[in-house]
């Protein structure tokens, strides 16, 4: 058991090393990466200038719009990676023709999948930190750190729950035999619901009731709600805002924790199970390997 | 046989659904009731036409494809239940060289990567990689990127990858495809070496029939998913019921000497017939048929030399494995 | 050969690649900083892929190219089909010299990598797609598809998806694709990879017919000498150099006084038998060269490939040698020199005399 874990860990490390070599061998990557985050935060700053004198109500989410949106970005980057990337990752393994070679090793099904994720870790997660930094240094975002442990808990929950959805999306590669670029789960969540109802630029409360309810089905909504209450200066811990918070008799943050935990507990095991059964199905149908 | 076979398959079936149109499909038995025992330490060749089911069979034995019927054990593991364990303890080389070669890593980095994935002991890693690079003549390319080396070199890299760990079974699907003569020779020698030295059981497919004849202890000839025959080359030859013959061309042979020689040759055991042709001195030749020829050829040559007959050329005619293969595959098509 | 009849005329073409290789010691953050700021110590290695290559191919000829991995075959075809500009030298293909015209003269059939087939489409759809890309009118395309499907015996499999095909069938699809285009020159890069014995023979016949009946010029590269048996002339390529060019007899002409004897003998001794054999046989005056390798399977024999001088009593002497050692000969044949042996000879000749690097 220990040995197995050690082995999986060693493999994760060398997968990561490989991803790192690949990433760092494209020089443009580094510059693009830096500039991308800078541009994004600049846009936010412009927006914040516009909204400074408006009467828009951010009610429970404090009074710093830049912080508000920078947090939106953080969740967006995490979601982009954990939810959006797994399908492409599996596709990359398949089109590269290496799926069967990974399977022919003592590794578990999940290790290559996780291992190839390191690219996202070095490419995308640091964007979270970078955008927090840029916001703070250049554009006057302020962060309240009194509730840091709770904030980290939410960070962990949003990481896990989006990864679970990502795995569901990835499993459709083998389960539904989607071999092309667009994939329904990811498309529906990432490109439709998240874009529409997650509230990156605006509080979800400004949306019509129906969209608010739709937004209630994705973890992003709860993570954003909680993180903003906790970290934007002047955030409010008691005023209910989301539909679910009105329905449940708990404090808003508690509701967020309950909702996110429940989602994670459903989605993560489901994702793993679907991924494994996808591979099993491919093993039956003969679609696992590209070579003949 | 007393030793338990490493692979034992009974009535193994794999059926693919081939889609005709959106709603209709028909089944295709890619592997059809295959019985096969592979013994420890042997080299088994799978021969067959395109689409005969060789690759499908290999994939099932390697645990990459789930059979649809029959039973099978590989290394004692059940092909349905313990496929994970099977996969962890076999190696495989796919015919497409680019499989498993990351173009962003150098040749050496590629091997270092797979060494960890395949869980090779840390102490062994560098040494094993060096050994393989040297043996496959890749050493001078170790710091090159795979895109910048030729296809044949990449094939060697793929073979090197699969040999990083010495698993008890090695599947080779068309191992020498795309290699030049020297490369193919090196790979064949290597296959032989790892089979001898480490006792690794090897199952290979190839379309170069002479290659199977050189390497394999036994060959299985497949057609349309069935195994038509499976035996050693010598036994398959015996089934053909054809005498091996040999033509020995000689220099001038005086009349008396010729009779003497024929008498001696005819008296050798196992010789079925022996004749002499040649009116003109320079075209004199003896023809000997025997079963098996191998054991008498040397005695025949000795006899002729003992009579001081000058030998110009010797041509033994044994049906090659290619003859046997074509015979097996074609006779089936005719019936 | 007069220049007029040459459909392909390549003169003094050279090409050098700058191969880059990275230093093994470089890794970690150092590598990252180096590459981000272009500080890499990438030592550029230059590879001379083609060096002063000149040859001509006549219209309607079947022309073979034989050479080790990395001899420069792929570079050559890339230049011939206008995908790559030669560094120096000139080429004329079917009367064209401009890059834009050259690229439409050759139908290039390559089998590298995943062959560029559309994975989600059937064989037939792939062919149609490819034909449409090259602007063949639909009705004409249908006719041609049916004819190539018949030619390669793939009619039964025409509705299978590429992902469902066996290795050899995929190879046939790439071949068929090349035959769809009606171009004067066919270039086949290792066409028999993964093909079974019968299919390779069928392909050879198809190529002969294409040259004879349709007047196509066919260029074949292969590592399998059998594939090149249909060629009128064969060019031997080594490290970017043309080391010999001619029909098989011409290639063999410097070795006219040499013949090959191939025998298998029992291997009774243990120890370093092969070296003893080679050493012993080389003592004989008639023997020019010996290769010894292990015999078939577990037969415990040696295969001995001898190149011997034609005059003299080579066979008798060698048989006597084996009789004297009591090493039974179990098989023996005298066969012409293989293409590989000719190649090795020409490589030796040029590397010794010409001083190739
Ligand atoms: N995943 C699949 N789905 C449907 N049919 C398949 C699949 N894989 C293989 N087949 C079919 O099974 C048959 C056997 O294929 P297989 O690849 O085993 O042949 P093979 O003996 O390896 O041939 P080759 O010598 O060309 O490699 C073929 O008719 C092929 O079309
Ligand atoms: Mg195959």
Q: How confident is the model at residue B280 (pLDDT cuts 50, 70, 90)?
A: low
pLDDT of residue B282: 62
Q: How confident is the model at residue C1 (pLDDT cuts 50, 70, 90)?
A: very low
Q: Are C43 and C23 in contact (CB under 8 A)?
A: yes
Q: How confident is the model at residue B235 (pLDDT cuts 50, 70, 90)?
A: confident
Q: How confident is the model at residue C86 (pLDDT cuts 50, 70, 90)?
A: confident
Q: Which ligand is nearest to the CA of B52?
A: 1
Which residues of chain C make contact with B148, given a CB cutoff of 8 A? 17, 19-21, 47
Q: What angle do CA B314, B320, B324 make, to 5 degrees?
A: 150
Q: Are C125 and C118 in contact (CB under 8 A)?
A: yes
pLDDT of residue C128: 93
Determine phi and psi for A149, rounding to 5 degrees.
-55, -45
A25, C119: Cβ pair inside 8 Å? no
pLDDT (average), residues C30-36: 50
Strands B43-48 and B201-205: parallel
Q: Are C334 and B315 in contact (CB under 8 A)?
A: yes
Six token digits for residue A130: 């970078």
pLDDT of residue A215: 84
Question: Which of the pair, B86 or A146, is modelled with greater confidence?
Answer: B86
3-class secondary structure, B287: strand
Superfamily of domain C3-19+51-251: P-loop containing nucleotide triphosphate hydrolases (3.40.50.300)
Most confident segment among A192-196, A209-213, B221-225, B245-249: B221-225
**Closest of C243, C250, C308, C247 to residue C281, by C-alpha:** C308
pLDDT of residue A266: 95
Give pLDDT tens digits for C285-304.
Answer: 889 889 888 888 888 888 99
For residue A217, what is the DSSP state?
T
Q: Calculate how close chain B gets to A89, using CA atoms only, in Å.
A: 15
Q: Calculate how close chain A gets to C42, using CA atoms only, in Å.
A: 12
Q: Where in chain C is the domain with CATH 3.40.50.300?
A: 3-19+51-251
Q: How confident is the model at residue B73 (pLDDT cuts 50, 70, 90)?
A: very high
**Sequence ranges of the domains in chain A:** 2-285
Question: Which of the pair, C319 or A178, is modelled with greater confidence?
Answer: C319
Within chain C, strands assigned E span 6-21, 43-58, 62-67, 88-93, 106-109, 185-189, 217-221, 233-238, 241-246, 258-266, 287-294, 301-309, 329-335
3-class secondary structure, A121: helix
Q: How confident is the model at residue B312 (pLDDT cuts 50, 70, 90)?
A: confident
Contact status of C163 with chain A (Cβ, < 8 Å): yes
B297 CA distance to ligand 2 middle (Å): 39
Give pLDDT tens digits for C159-204.
Answer: 898 888 998 999 999 999 989 988 899 999 889 988 999 999 999 9
Cis peptide leading into B292, omega within 30 of 0? yes
Report, as ranges of residue numbers, the positions in chain A whose pLDDT lies below 50. none
Q: Are C264 and B244 in contact (CB under 8 A)?
A: no
Strands B69-74 and B7-19: antiparallel
pLDDT at residue B273 above 80? yes
Which residues of chain A make contact with C165, given a CB cutoff of 8 A? 292
Within C154-208, strands assigned E span 185-189
Q: Is the CB of B54 under 6 A from ligand 1?
A: yes
Determine phi and psi for A64, rounding to 5 degrees.
-115, 105
Give pLDDT tens digits for C49-61.
Answer: 888 889 999 999 9
pLDDT of residue A46: 78
B232, burial (CB in 10 Å: exposed 0-12, middle 13-18, buried 19+) = middle
Give pLDDT tens digits for B166-188.
Answer: 899 999 999 888 888 888 888 88
What atom of ligand 1 comes closest to residue B225's alpha carbon? 14
3-class secondary structure, B323: helix
This prediction has a pTM of: 0.89
Q: Among B16, B64, B95, B222, say which to mutate for ligand 1: greatest number of ligand atoms within 8 Å of CB.
A: B16
- Distance linking the first and last C-alpha atoms of chain A: 35
C166, B311: Cβ pair inside 8 Å? no
Structurally, at CATH architecture level, domain C255-352 sits in 2-Layer Sandwich (3.30)
pLDDT (average), residues C111-137: 84
Q: How confident is the model at residue C271 (pLDDT cuts 50, 70, 90)?
A: low
Q: Which residues pair with C188 in a beta bridge?
A: C109, C220
Q: Are A183 and A87 in contact (CB under 8 A)?
A: yes
CB atoms within 10 A of CB A69: 28
What atom of ligand 1 comes closest to residue C168's alpha carbon? 26
pLDDT at residue C44 above 70? no
In order of start, what are the domains of chain B with their CATH numbers?
7-106+166-181+196-238 (3.40.50.300), 244-318 (3.30.70.120)
A292: nearest CB among C32, C120, C170? C170
Chain B residue closest in CA terms to A279: B64
Please report where in the chains the tokens 């036409």 appear, as a residue: B49
Q: Are C293 and C265 in contact (CB under 8 A)?
A: no
Q: Is the CB of B183 under 6 A from ligand 1?
A: no
Contacts 24+ apart (CB under 8 A), B251-254: B251/B281, B251/B282, B251/B284, B251/B309, B251/B310, B251/B311, B251/B312, B252/B281, B252/B282, B252/B284, B252/B310, B253/B278, B253/B281, B253/B284, B253/B309
C166 CA distance to ligand 1 middle (Å): 4
**Closest of A267, A262, A281 to residue A172, by C-alpha:** A281
Chain A residue closest in CA terms to C24: A21
Q: Are C22 and C42 in contact (CB under 8 A)?
A: yes
């Amino acid at each position: 058991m220990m040995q197995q874990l050690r082995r999986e860990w060693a493999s994760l490390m060398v997968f990561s090393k490989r991803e790192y070599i690949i990433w760092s061998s494209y020089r443009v990557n580094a510059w693009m990466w830096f500039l991308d985050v800078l541009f994004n935060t600049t846009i936010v700053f412009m927006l914040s200038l516009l909204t400074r004198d408006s009467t828009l109500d951010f009610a429970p989410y404090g009074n710093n719009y830049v912080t508000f949106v920078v947090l939106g970005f953080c969740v967006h980057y995490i979601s982009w990676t954990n939810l959006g990337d797994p399908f492409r990752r599996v596709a990359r393994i398949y089109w590269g023709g290496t799926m069967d070679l990974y399977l022919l090793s003592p590794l578990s099904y999940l290790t290559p999948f996780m291992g190839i994720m390191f690219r996202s870790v070095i490419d995308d997660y640091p964007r979270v930190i970078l955008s927090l930094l840029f916001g703070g240094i250049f554009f006057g975002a302020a962060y309240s750190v009194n509730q840091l442990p709770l904030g980290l808990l939410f960070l962990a929950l949003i990481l896990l729950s989006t990864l679970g959805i990502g795995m569901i999306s990835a499993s459709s590669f083998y389960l539904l035999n989607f071999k092309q670029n667009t994939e329904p789960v990811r498309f529906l969540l990432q490109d439709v619901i998240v874009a529409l109802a997650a509230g990156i630029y605006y509080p979800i409360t400004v949306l019509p009731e129906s969209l608010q309810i739709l937004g209630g089905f994705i973890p992003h909504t709860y993570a954003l709600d909680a993180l903003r209450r906790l970290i934007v200066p002047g955030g409010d811990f008691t005023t209910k805002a989301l539909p679910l918070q009105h329905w449940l008799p708990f404090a808003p943050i508690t509701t967020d924790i309950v909702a996110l935990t429940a989602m994670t507990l459903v989605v993560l095991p489901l994702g793993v199970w679907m991924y494994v059964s996808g591979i099993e199905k491919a093993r039956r149908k003969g679609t696992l390997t590209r070579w003949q | 046989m007393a030793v338990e076979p490493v692979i034992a398959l009974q009535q193994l079936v794999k059926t693919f659904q081939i889609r005709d149109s959106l709603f209709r499909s028909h089944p295709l038995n890619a592997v059809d009731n295959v019985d096969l025992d592979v013994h420890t330490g042997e080299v088994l060749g799978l021969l067959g036409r395109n689409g005969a089911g060789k690759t499908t069979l290999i994939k099932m034995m390697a645990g990459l494809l789930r059979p649809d019927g029959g039973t099978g054990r590989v290394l004692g593991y059940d092909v349905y239940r313990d496929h994970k364990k099977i996969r962890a303890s076999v190696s495989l080389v796919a015919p497409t060289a680019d499989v498993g070669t990351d173009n962003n890593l150098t040749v050496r980095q590629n091997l270092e990567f797979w060494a960890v994935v395949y869980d090779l002991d840390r102490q062994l890693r560098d040494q094993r990689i060096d050994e393989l690079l040297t043996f496959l003549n890749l050493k001078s390319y170790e710091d090159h990127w795979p895109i910048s080396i030729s296809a044949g070199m990449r094939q060697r890299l793929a073979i090197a990858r699969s040999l990083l760990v010495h698993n008890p079974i090695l599947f080779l699907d068309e191992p020498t495809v795309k290699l030049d003569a020297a490369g193919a020779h090196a790979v064949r020698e290597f296959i032989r070496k790892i089979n001898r030295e480490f006792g690794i059981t090897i199952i290979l497919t190839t379309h170069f029939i002479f290659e199977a004849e050189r390497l394999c202890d036994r060959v299985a000839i497949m057609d349309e998913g069935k195994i038509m025959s499976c035996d050693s080359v010598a036994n398959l030859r015996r089934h053909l019921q054809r005498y091996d013959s040999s033509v020995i061309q000689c220099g001038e042979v005086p009349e008396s000497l010729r009779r003497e020689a024929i008498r001696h040759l005819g008296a050798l055991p196992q010789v079925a017939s022996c004749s002499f042709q040649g009116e003109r001195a320079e075209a004199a030749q003896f023809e000997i048929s025997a079963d098996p020829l191998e054991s008498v050829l040397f005695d025949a040559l000795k006899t002729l030399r003992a009579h001081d007959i000058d030998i110009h050329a010797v041509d033994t005619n044994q049906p090659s494995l290619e003859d046997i293969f074509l015979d097996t595959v074609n006779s089936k098509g005719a019936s | 050969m007069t220049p007029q009849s040459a459909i392909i005329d390549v003169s003094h073409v050279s090409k050098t690649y700058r191969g880059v290789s990275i230093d093994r010691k470089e890794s970690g953050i150092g590598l990252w900083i180096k590459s981000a700021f272009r500080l890499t110590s990438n030592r550029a290695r230059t590879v001379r892929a083609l060096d002063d290559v000149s040859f001509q191919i006549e219209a309607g000829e079947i022309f073979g190219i034989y050479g080790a991995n990395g001899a420069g075959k792929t570079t050559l075809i890339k230049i011939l089909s206008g995908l790559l500009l030669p560094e120096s030298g000139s080429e004329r293909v079917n009367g064209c010299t401009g890059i834009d015209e050259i690229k439409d003269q050759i139908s290039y059939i390559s089998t590298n990598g995943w062959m560029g087939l559309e994975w989600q489409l059937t064989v037939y759809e792939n062919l149609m797609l490819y034909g449409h890309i090259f602007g063949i009118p639909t009705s004409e395309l249908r006719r041609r598809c049916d004819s190539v499907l018949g030619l390669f015996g793939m009619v039964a499999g025409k509705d299978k998806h590429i992902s469902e095909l066996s290795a050899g069938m995929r190879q046939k699809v790439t071949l068929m694709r090349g035959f769809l285009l009606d171009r004067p020159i066919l270039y086949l890069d290792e066409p028999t990879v993964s093909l079974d014995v019968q299919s390779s023979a069928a392909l050879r016949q198809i190529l002969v017919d294409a040259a004879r009946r349709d007047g196509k010029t066919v260029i074949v590269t292969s590592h399998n000498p059998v594939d090149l048996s249909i060629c009128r002339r064969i060019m031997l390529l080594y490290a970017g150099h043309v080391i010999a060019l001619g029909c098989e007899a011409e290639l063999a002409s410097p070795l006219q006084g040499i013949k090959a004897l191939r025998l298998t003998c029992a291997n009774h001794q243990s120890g370093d038998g092969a070296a003893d054999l080679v050493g012993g046989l080389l003592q004989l005056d008639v023997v020019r060269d010996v290769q010894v390798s292990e015999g078939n399977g577990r037969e415990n024999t040696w295969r001995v490939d001898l190149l011997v001088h034609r005059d003299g009593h080579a066979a008798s002497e060698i048989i006597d040698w084996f009789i004297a050692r009591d090493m039974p000969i179990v098989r023996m044949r005298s066969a012409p020199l293989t293409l590989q042996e000719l190649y090795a000879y020409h490589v030796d000749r040029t590397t010794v005399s010409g001083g190739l690097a």
